Amino acid sequence: MPRRYGQHFLKDVGIVQRIVEESGVGPADTVLEIGPGQGILTQELAQKVKKVVAIEIDRNLATELKAKTWPVPVEIHQGNILEFDESELKNLVGGTYKIVTNLPYEITSEVLKKFLVGKHRPVSMTMMIQKEVGERIVVQGGKWSRLAVFCGYHALTKMLFSVSPSAFNPPPHVDSCVIQLDLRPEPLLEPAQERLLFRLTEAAYAEKRKTLANSLRPVLGPDAAVKLRALGQDPQERPEKIPLAKWLFLAGRL
């Protein structure tokens, strides 16, 4: 069968079992899977949970998955996950749900934005993604990014394990990893402060080589350094050194 979307199919059963185990899903859970491919992860999930809703963009793969027999109810829907609106997704998954997926890497950012800020959010997201992106989400060595702040604001993030290219057919040219995001039940800031937080981080990480004061002048004005210093923040520090807790403090006080 031709690979229309450049898929790299997961083939390592041990990795699949570990993803499901570390996701923490159980018999009471409904799981949303994005890009089930040939169904190796779907099959493992179907042995552990109450229901799986799998959305596959490839029409041929979706047809093959629909023809399979599953241990529990598995609903296969053909389409692009990014084109499903919140009401459609709510109808599919019902009440509370979790995401467990070997995510198509090219839509990682869009999927995070869609599910971290939506009204019908999952309880958790356990995702196989490109390792380089995973290390930007789950802060490694104290280097913060805009993506790390965004994800950390909405969820507790954790690196679970790394996955080598040999786990896929055909092997990709990048390493992979599995991360978990446990979504926070309530926002950490008031709406106005939250909007300021993301204005600040958008400006700060647009030009990471600039000092904090220089990068934040478009938001805080020409006296950005004075305002930062008044809050105990070194205006000469680089944005990548500013942790989420400090961003929250700044957004709440500026």
In a domain, 54, yes or no: yes
Strand ranges, E, within 132-232: 155-163, 168-169, 176-183
Residues 108 and 198 in one domain: no
Domain final residue pick, 137, 159, 183:
183
Q: What band does 208 get if pLDDT is binned at 50, 70 and 90?
A: confident
pLDDT at 140: 79
Domain final residue pick, 183, 205, 237:
183
Q: Across all residues in the chain, what is the average pLDDT? A: 94
Closest by CA position to 150, among listed 237, 253, 250, 247 = 247
Report yes or no: 152 and 182 within 8 Å, Cβ to Cβ: no
Domain final residue pick, 148, 166, 183:
183
Buried-state track 202-220, b at ≥16 Cβ within 10 A, e below 16: ebbbeeeeebbbbbbeeeb
In a domain, 211, yes or no: yes
In a domain, 3, yes or no: no
pLDDT at 82: 96
In a domain, 1, yes or no: no
Q: Parallel, antiparallel, or unpaired: how do β-strands 51-56 and 9-10 relate?
A: unpaired
Mean pLDDT computed over 85-98: 95
Dump pLDDT digits (tens) for 70-86.
Answer: 998 999 999 999 999 99
Residues 222 and 101 in one domain: no
In a domain, 73, yes or no: yes
In a domain, 4, yes or no: no
Residues 101 and 207 in one domain: no
> How many domains is the chain partitioned into structurally?
2
Percentage above 70 pLDDT, the chain: 98
Strand ranges, E, within 22-65: 30-34, 51-56
pLDDT at 1: 36
Residues 161 and 195 in one domain: no
Residue ranges making up the domain that contains 92? 9-183
Residues 168 and 204 in one domain: no
Tell me: pLDDT of 207 over 90.
no
Report the distance separating Cα 103 and Cα 128, nearest Å.
6
Residues 235 and 204 in one domain: yes
Q: What band does 3 get if pLDDT is binned at 50, 70 and 90?
A: very low
Report the distance separating Cα 224 and Cα 235, nearest Å.
8
For residue 49, give the amino acid letter. Answer: V
Tell me: pLDDT of 237 over 80.
yes
Q: What band does 6 get if pLDDT is binned at 50, 70 and 90?
A: low
Domain with 241 in it: what CATH number? 1.10.8.100
Report the distance separating Cα 251 and Cα 197, nearest Å.
5
**CA-CA distances (angstroms) from residue 187 to 32, 120, 150, 154, 192?**
23, 14, 12, 7, 12
Report the distance separating Cα 176 and Cα 48, nearest Å.
24
Residues 142 and 208 in one domain: no
Domain with 126 in it: what CATH number? 3.40.50.150
